[in-house]
Chain A
């Protein structure tokens, strides 16, 4: 079994734990054995289209059995105890087609009732949820008259109205313009931070995961390519970047570092020294001082999520 990384802001309880999960459709293998643990906060499920993200969400909902390995959601096997798990999950599907002639408030109330809320409570909470996503004034409008952005908000409202422990959002910004997208991401952030509902967000857009997620699971070729907190994935704690003032000082600094057994790559005035402990900071500072090199920047190297994605998928 590959080493599992907990993707979590809080390391208390594993919300989702996958251990060698496999999924096949006929002769086509979608997941070849994925391992990860998702904890609290917002976790991005990242991967190109068709890599099995929606399949994995379906398995978390208990809609498909695994063909190998084990999957637990909220500590329960979702396939054998599907109803119990789904009662505690919120889910916003990827597609935008919703019943066109049903009012938003009726739709959200109906989904809340399906998840076990009594009618009166469901009615109140449906209204509250629609206010929270910014559709309070529009809540009696039929869904068919709403824009894509509004329908995405309705989908979020129906996912949180019944007070789930975990919300699964499948491509929640699909079809939104940049302004709507930022608003939606802010809303999702609010769901996790203010309302205390943990979120798993499936997306193929790296920057939105980078913008709001605490952690990510990157899927490709049917396996987990990388997983962990965003800090870990982006290289927090590894490699040191030294940016020098003067290009003429690059050579003596590189020579000084190499003499202290530190591997260095050079890109103009930018040096990347490999090493994870604070000792490398001190050595870099001393070598620069010895060579009379002015330092513009001395920091840990941070990758963008795109760099991580490209590194893991290449």
Chain B
């Protein structure tokens, strides 16, 4: 028995299959997700994602506990609706939305990683596709995950929807509304992150944009006595309102004569507009090499 070990094996050529552009995109998505969740990074990088995930999932755990303890007759009065669940986790959603895209986009530009990516099989288009998938998927952890956990938990506790059909329909609504919400937050936060290399500035701008739009929209409609349609500019309430409509519930704007179609159009318009802005910024961007 010897302690000898070979550390340098010499240079070996590689003759195996290469995964191509698809593989590069998958790698980018996985690496980005690890970076945001702090996996393989120091403890301080884990604080924010862990805190946000706790904030997003704790209410679901509490509601499941309540459902297990309370009789079926009164649990309906205590538990929120699936669309209403987002009201409990709105802070976590906004916090995550303001953190993820700046972490992934601004950091790549500041550290020169964008140049490294563009020297790989990725180009600007596929790079942005990978980053969009990464940001959307990570946001989905808090937009789709918690209500889905709640649904599955309630179902297992015999407090969920009646029958498989109702359950699947509800799951579909949760996934659709969560996906739209992820796309909405991803689009806005990516647009802001594409406009500045400074991560902190991007985060502050995203938070400012959300709460600024809420304040201005309320002021215009209520103090300025303007049309209720100005509420569509309220970026905080807009995705929650759409989620309510997807779940077939009356949202806060139901009495204000704002149609579901108009809300869909506004949300999709914002997503497409932000997407075009991001693409235009990256298309023209001078990459440091």
Contact = CB atoms under 8 A, between A and B. Distances in A.
A183 to B, nearest CB: 16
B113 A99 contact: yes
Contacts of A100: 111
Nearest to A106: B40
A75 interface: no
Contact of A83 (B12, B121, B287, B288): B121
Contacts of A61: 118-119
A57 B112 CA distance: 16
Contacts of A98: 111-113
Given A63-B118, A86-B119, A128-B8, A121 B111 contact: no
Interface string A107-118: 000110111111
Contacts of A132: 8, 10-11
Nearest to B287: A63
B136 to A, nearest CB: 20
Contact of B117 (A102, A114, A125, A196): A114
Interface of A (DSSP majority class): mixed
Given A91-B119, A101-B41, A116-B20, A128 B12 contact: yes
Q: Tell me which of B14, B28, B40 has the highest count of chain A C-beta atoms within 10 A of its own C-beta.
A: B14
Contacts of A136: 7-8
Contacts, number: 118
Interface in B125-177: 126
B144 to A, nearest CB: 26
A122 to B, nearest CB: 9
Interface size class of B (residues with CB under 8 A): 35 or more
B116 interface: yes
Contact of A58 (B12, B40, B289): B289
A111 B116 contact: yes
A194 B11 contact: yes
Interface string B98-116: 0000000001001111011
A102 B41 CA distance: 7
A239 interface: no
B24 interface: yes
Nearest to A137: B7
Interface of A: 54, 57-58, 61, 63, 82-84, 86-87, 89, 91, 93-95, 97-103, 106, 110-111, 113-118, 121, 125, 128, 131-132, 136, 142, 158, 160, 162-163, 170, 194-196
Given A83-B24, A97-B110, A113-B19, 10 more contacts: A93-B116, A93-B289, A95-B289, A100-B111, A101-B45, A110-B27, A115-B24, A116-B20, A142-B42, A162-B14
